[in-house]
Amino acid sequence: MSVLLELSELRKSFGGVAAVAGASFGVADGSITAVIGPNGAGKSTVFNLASGFMRPDTGSIRFGGADITGRRADAVARAGLVRAFQTARVLTRMTVEENMRLAARAQPGERLGAAWLMPRAVARREEEVCARAAELLGLIRLQHLARDYAGALSGGQRKLLELGRALMAEPRMLLLDEPMAGVAPVLAEQLLDHIRVLRAEHGITICVIEHDMDVVMSLSDRVIVMDEGRVIAQGTPEEVQRNDKVIEAYLGRLAGAEADRLAEQAAS
Amino acid sequence: MGVFNPAFWIFVSVIAGIYAIMALGLYVQFSLAGLPNFGHVAFMAVAAYTMAILAVRYQVPLLWSSLAGIVAAIALAFIFGIPTLRLRADYLAIATVAGGEIIRYLAMNLPDLTGGPVGSMAMLGPTKLAMYNGGWQAMLGAISRAVSSFLGVTLSRDAVMAAIVWILAALLIILIWRLERSPWGRVQKGIREDDVAVAAVGKDVVAFKMQALVLGAVLGGLSGLLLAFQIGVFSPDDFLPTLTFYAYLILILGGSNRIYAIPVGAIAFSLLYSGTRFLNFFPLSLFDSGSRAFLRLFLVGALLVLFMALRPQGLLGDRRQLMLEK
C-alpha cells in the first residue's frame, strides 16, 4: 500500500519546550492508523502540524505525493486532509443543518459576485449540498436535530456533528483527535462503526488519537506510539502490545500497577 | 424649529436614512462577519474628503470624484485589514480605533489639502469659498422640478434627498439580505462563530474577512458621501469617533443580527437623538441650551443602558439565540 500522509523529522518547540522532537511516520492509504502515547507525548501537536494549524520548526509533511509543509489550514483541508478537534468546535448559533452545509465544497455562492448574480447555479449546487447533508446526518443519526441550533447539542452529539461536517468537506483522509472522548458508550460504539464504514465504503484513510486501548486494538490496522515528542514504536496492534519500549513507556505503568494490586491481594 | 415643522422631520429622516446605510456597513462587518470595527467613521471621512478634494481642487465631475471616494474607502479597508485579519479579532479593533482618529487628525492638520479645522469650505484657502456639491444640489433641484411638473406636487430638495436616501437604503438592505442568506453569508456567520472551525473545513477565512471588511467600507464610504452632500460643508468635527458608536447603537437598538431591524434602529435612534432637543420645558428649561445639548447625549446614553439591561436583543431581536451558550 502506498503512503498517503508522510511526516518526516517534525520538530516543534514552545518557548524552549520541545513538544515534538523529530517525529517521523507514515499513514498508509486506506488504513486506520492509531496514534497513542501518554499525556504530553506530542500527539495533538503532530495533528496541529499535519493539518496546517501550526508550522513545524523543521521537518516536512507530504500528503498524496505533494509537499504541504507550511501550507495554511484551509489549503490543507482543500487538499483533502480534514481534521476534527479534541473538543468539538461546532458553530453554536447556527443550526445543525447549516453546520453541515457550510463545509460543502465547490459552492459557487461562496464567491461574492456569484452569490448576487448567479442565483440559479447557486441553487442547483445547494440542492446537491442539502441532499448530501441529509444523507450524512442520517449516517451520524442526527437528522431529527437538523433544525436545532448546534449550541443545544450535548457534548457527544457535537462530536458526531463535527465528524459529519468534516465528511461534508469530502476528505481523502481524516485526522480525529480522541473522537470517543466524552461520548456515551452506546454512541461511541456507533461512532466506531461509522469510522469502519467510512474506510470500507468510502475509502477514507483515518488517523486517530485514542486513549482507550480496547478501541485501539480492535479498530486500527497500525499503531504509532509516541513518547516525549518522538515515535518510539510502530507496527500492528499485536506487535506494539509486545514491544518492550511501549510497555515500559506507556502500557508498562498500567501493567505495573496491576501487578502491584495482584501482589497486594495475594499478600492479604 | 418647532416640533410640528415638517421640514425639520424631513431633515431628520434624511439623516436617519444616511445612518441606516452607515449602520448597514457595520452590520456586514460586525453582525455578519464578527469583525469589531471601531473606526467605521474613517471610511466615511476618507470617502467624503477624497470626493470633496477632487471636486473642489481638480474640478472632477461629481460622479467620478464620488467613485474615487469609494475607492479610497476600499483602500483604507485593505490598510486596516492586511496587517490585522490574520491575527485575533482584538487587533483589528485596535487598528480601527487608532485609524479612525489618524484620519481625523490628518484632515485637521493638512489645511492646504483639506481646509483643516475650518472644514471643506476653506479648501482653496481663506479667500475663496470652496463648494463641492453644486452638482448634487442641481440634480436635486432638477428632480424636484420634474416631480412637480409631472405630479403637480412641490417637493423640497430635502424631500427629494430623503426619497433618494431611503430608496438607496432599501435597495442596499435587500442586496445585503440576499447576500446574508447565500452560501457566502453562511461562511461569514460561521467565521463569526469560530473561524478555526471554518478554516478546518477548507474555507479561506482571511479572504472572507477581507471581503466583509471591504463591503462594509463601501457602504460606510457611501454614507459618508451622502452625509457630505446633505450638509453641504463639513469639517473634521463631523467625523468624530462617536459616529461609529451611533452605528453600533443603531444595530443594538434594532436588534443585532437582524438586518430588517436596521431601518427601525436608525429611525429610533434619530428620533431619540433629535427628539430630545425638544426637551425645553420646565424643569429642563432651567439649563441653558448649551447644557441641554449635553443633557441630550446623557439621556441617549441612559436610554441605551436601560435597553441593554432590559431588552438586550433589541427591538426585534431573538432572545433565544442570544442566550445560547458558546
Above 60 in pLDDT, residue B326?
Answer: no
3-class DSSP assignment, residue B39: coil
pLDDT classification of B298: cutoffs 50, 70, 90: confident
List, for chain A, all residue ranges whose pLDDT scores fall below the cut of 50. none
Cβ-based contacts of B28 with chain A (< 8 Å): none
- This model of the complex carries an ipTM of 0.86
Q: How far is residue B286's CA from residue B227's CA, in Å, rounded to a whole number?
A: 33
A106: contact with B, CB 8 A cutoff? no
CB contact under 8 A, A112 and B215: yes
Report residue B303 CA to chain centroid gap: 21
Bridge-based pairing of strands A66-67 and A222-227 is: unpaired
Q: For residue A177, which of A20, A46, A64 has the smallest C-alpha distance?
A: A46
A52: left (phi over 0), alpha (psi -120 to 50) or beta: left
Q: Which of A92, A122, A166 sits opposite B201 (nearest CB)?
A: A166
Above 70 in pLDDT, residue B1?
Answer: no
Query: Do A163 and A84 form a contact (C-beta atoms < 8 A)?
Result: yes
What's residue B104's pLDDT?
A: 93
Q: In this structure, how many other beta carbons lie within 10 angstroms of the beta carbon of residue A141?
A: 15
Above 80 in pLDDT, residue B282?
Answer: no
Q: How far is A37 from chain B (nearest CA, A)?
A: 24
User: pTM higher than 0.95, yes or no?
Assistant: no
Read off the pLDDT of residues A239-263 as tens digits, 9 standing for 90 and up.
888 877 777 776 555 555 666 666 6
A103: contact with B, CB 8 A cutoff? yes
CB contact under 8 A, A151 and B325: yes
Q: CB contacts < 8 Å between A and B, how many?
A: 108
Q: Which of B183, B187, B201 sits opposite A122 (nearest CB)?
A: B183
Read off the pLDDT of residues A5-27 as tens digits, 9 standing for 90 and up.
999 888 898 888 888 888 889 99
Q: How far is A44 from chain B (nearest CA, A)?
A: 15
CB contact under 8 A, B183 and A115: yes
